[in-house]
A and B are shown apart, each in its own frame.
Chain A
Amino acid sequence: MSINRDFEPKDRISQNLLDFSKEISDLLSKDITEDEQILPFILYRLNQFGLQHQYSSKEVFQEAYCQLVLDIKAGEKILNAAISMKRKSLKIIRRHSQNRTDQKSGVKYSLSD
């Protein structure tokens, strides 16, 4: 039998994860006019990048949440959940936009061939 020496850091990460998910659920339980308005923010950014017909704000939110959970598991510290969600969703939207432009350029290339 060996002593579980990795208990403390794992416990800290788990606590961070738990805090983050609680903060997000608190944000989601608030009224839309009172909360940080993450979903409208995502929708507005989708409009800005011309992706409003391909992705919904809910999908981007879920993806951002899962990625932030992975980041926390990797040891990153989240100071503000709402701002982190906004940043992450913006990153995701940018990546989708980049993928779309890549696909378009690929189509053009193949057509030109």
Chain B
Amino acid sequence: MDVVPAPYEVPQSPITSGERLPVRRLERPVQGRYLAGVCAGLAEHLGLNVRHVRLAFGLACLAGGAGIAAYLFLWALTPQSLGTTPVARTDAVAIGRPTNEPVRNLVVGLGLLFVGGVLVAQQRGVNLRLGVLIPILTVVGGAVLAWSQLDVAERGRWLVGDMGPAGRRAGLVRLGIGIALATIGVVVLVTQGRGFSGLWEVGIPAVAVLAGVALVAAPWGVRLWADLRAEQAQRIRETERADIAAHLHDSVLQTLALIQRQAGDSAAVVRLARAQERELRGWLYAGPLGSQASLASAVTEVAHEVEDLHGMPIELVVTGDRPLDVGGAALVRALREALLNAVRHGAAPVSAYVEVGSESVEAFVRDHGPGFDLDAVPQDRFGVRESILGRMSRHGGAAALRRLEQGTEVSLTLPVTAPGSHSQIQPEAQTDTEARTDTEVQADTEGRR
């Protein structure tokens, strides 16, 4: 066989073009329908032409209204298909009121036709017994309204987000009107010409019977409702659980697997554990520090990056915060350089403290290494000195290097200026330094891996 049919090229008949389910269920489609989609659904289910089905129903209607009865019956029992097409799924309005315009036109037209027919029949002397007909029509109208509302409510359950409180209220109003109409129709029908005394005569036993039924059915109904709620809650919990499980699988379990594989390399284990801890912490307590453009978040990000590069924990403390401006960005870059310096040449513990005050930003990086003499710095440190000390002074700040009894401390100071007054910065010099710094870091990263 040379020609292998493409798996997705399923031959589609024009009728079933909207269908996706392999098993054909009798459903009322949302699109391409005139009334409630019974004919279209039936045609799709039976594999017939929609027009033929519609014609058959129309003819059946003439035969003593059998078509109407069948239509109503099928409509009540056939579920509406749920988002058969992607278009219907994305367009909430189309789903909520799929064929509003034609339906309204049709209802109005049928109503007018009906009224006209009745008037003509009356004039011909046919006794239509309006006293019975009008209540029956009222009942039917109310029932249709109420049922269609249940239909919408069912749809709304699948599209909770799209309905909104306003839509739900409108639905409830329509349901109420439908029920009221049906009730009035029944009452008028039953109390035929007997006035209000008749209403009492019939109404009280009816209400009593209804109350009895309600009494019997209430526990069952309540139970059913409670079960439904429990099931919904269960489903929500399961979804949440699945989300958490998925997240843990992608993060924690993967990291644990990596740690097991690299158990011999303690530096790698520490690095993995720190990175995972941070990730999990961020996921659990995602707080206001997450905003991207703040100095505190930029500092945090840089500290984490350096931690990841070298697997040495950095104890970072940040107080205060302010928007990240050009000077702040320079401070962050200088801080990064100082941190890299500390983890590369110093010894643990490395701590960083950044204080964002109202007049100045101060940053301190401290390690516990043997320390060094600034005048006797080796060649590779010269660039670092330039990118920390030089960069800070270019931005109107200052940097100092101090040797402690144990370790070294780099302190950076940057006066806080009003926003928009950074025009004195020379961008060329800045980018030059940055490019060099970045390549240096990259080379370092590659050397480590």
B and A form one assembly: no
Chain B contact residues, CB within 8 Å of chain A: none
Chain A contact residues, CB within 8 Å of chain B: none
